């Protein structure tokens, strides 16, 4: 089902029906079971609280417990890999479609990430985020940005990323949330 939705996103970009799309595969409070993945038990939200294994917290379904933190964390990682493979599917589709002699992905800016880095701790610091695509040549790829930004020695900010993306698609903004300086992407 999700792969078909990813196909629709790729087709919408290719046909120029739109060049902007948001897609949430799941949300942090999801009680969706991922038992279609071999060896995974419990709900997505309960798995994100991988340090609690007795199945008796408010996030658990009241039926599932886990043998160890390590096994529960591996289940959580399996679900995370499953989500990441869906994004890889979209990126492969965009790479396989050519527009004006170049992969459609080169014209895109695809952001993939989460609002939490550690679901157990409810921490939003050190968020793993991927920016794929070259944004029509406005994004320099092949880099890892971490820790501090290159402007005013401040911490990297999702708002600075969003400001940079908005400016690249022609939205004239000088500020987004707390950020006044766009993340350097070029």
| pLDDT tens figures, 33-89 | 999 999 999 888 888 888 888 887 766 788 888 999 999 999 999 999 999 999 999
Triad 107, 108, 110: Cα angle to 5°: 165
Question: Quick check: 167 and 182 in contact, CB under 8 A?
Answer: yes
C-alpha 167/C-alpha 145 separation (Å) is 19
Fill in the DSSP letter of residue 105. G
Q: Spell out the SS3 assignment of 25-86.
A: CCCCCCCCECCCCCCCCCEHHHHHCCCCCCCCCCCCCCCCCCCCHHHHHHHHHHHHHHHHHH
Helix, strand and coil percent figures for the chain, each rounded to 5: 35, 10, 55
pTM of the model: 0.87
Q: Which of 68-72, 82-86, 143-147, 178-182 has the lowest mean pLDDT?
A: 143-147
> Which pLDDT belongs to residue 147?
57
Terminal C-alpha separation, the chain: 35
């Amino acid at each position: 089902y999700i792969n078909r939705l990813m196909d629709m996103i790729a087709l919408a970009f290719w046909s120029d029906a739109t060049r902007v799309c948001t897609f949430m595969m799941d949300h942090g409070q999801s009680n969706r079971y991922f038992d279609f993945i071999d060896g995974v038990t419990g709900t997505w939200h309960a798995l994100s609280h991988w340090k609690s294994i007795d199945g008796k917290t408010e996030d658990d379904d009241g039926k599932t417990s886990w043998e160890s933190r390590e096994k529960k964390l591996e289940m959580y990682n399996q679900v995370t890999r499953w989500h990441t493979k869906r994004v890889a599917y979209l990126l492969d589709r965009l790479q396989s479609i050519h527009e004006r002699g170049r992969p459609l992905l080169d014209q895109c800016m695809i952001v993939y990430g989460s609002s939490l880095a550690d679901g157990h701790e409810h921490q939003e610091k050190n968020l793993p985020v991927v920016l794929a695509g070259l944004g029509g040549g406005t994004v320099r790829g092949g880099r890892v940005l971490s820790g501090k930004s290159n402007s005013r020695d401040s911490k990297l900010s999702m708002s600075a990323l969003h400001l940079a993306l908005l400016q690249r698609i022609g939205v004239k903004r000088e500020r987004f949330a707390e950020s006044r300086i766009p993340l350097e992407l070029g």
